[in-house]
Amino acid sequence: MASQGYQFDDIDRRIIAALNADGRATNQRIARNLRISPATVGARIRRLEGMNAMRVVAVTDFAALGYKVLLAVGIEVQGRPAEEVGGELAALPEVFAVHLVTGARDLEILVVLHDVEELEGFLLRDIAKIRGIRSLSAGIAADIIKYDFDRAQIT
């Protein structure tokens, strides 16, 4: 977990912005654009990663991988801890996000499927075998209006 007392400075923000724009940018290119040394860029990146304040990752497009169905499923848990149920759900390859939530549901999962025909099998075969699920409410995304992977803003 990132240190709560750490204050990002302008150089940190600019390095992160450069990596957001191009995750393949080299330390040398970032350093040249920011007018600092490549060693400083490398040290800052290592420190930010070490504090879990930043990760450099590749993000794929669901459609490019052949997924045509995006599903949000709210799950109510009974008889066992929601964290345990969430762990089993996280192990399913179709599930790409599991959230413990407040409100009417205990968990929310985000799921991708290749087509609607996989939906019945996923819900009745894969989800139904997990003990502790009391009820679920599934919604299929009709369209994706916004998909912005990196919403963490530094101040």
CATH number where 45 lies:
1.10.10.10
Number of domains in the chain: 2
Q: What percent of the chain has pLDDT over 70?
A: 89
Residue 2 within a domain? no
Give the model confidence (pLDDT) of 1-20 as tens digits.
455 666 789 999 999 989 98
16: Cβ contacts below 8 Å, ≥ 6 apart? 8, 48, 54, 154
110 and 81 in a single domain? The answer is yes
pLDDT at 58 over 60: yes
Q: Is residue 106 part of a domain?
A: yes
Give how far Cα 4 sits from Cα of 8, 43, 49, 60, Å.
Answer: 11, 20, 14, 30
Q: What is the pLDDT of residues 89-138, one digit of tens each?
A: 999 999 999 999 999 999 999 999 999 999 999 998 999 899 999 999 99
Indicate if the pLDDT at residue 149 is higher than 80. no
Single pTM value for the model: 0.67
Asked whether residue 155 carries a pLDDT value surpassing 70, the answer given is no
Same domain flag for 42 and 98: no
One-letter amino acid of 8: F
Query: Does residue 69 share a domain with residue 38?
Result: no
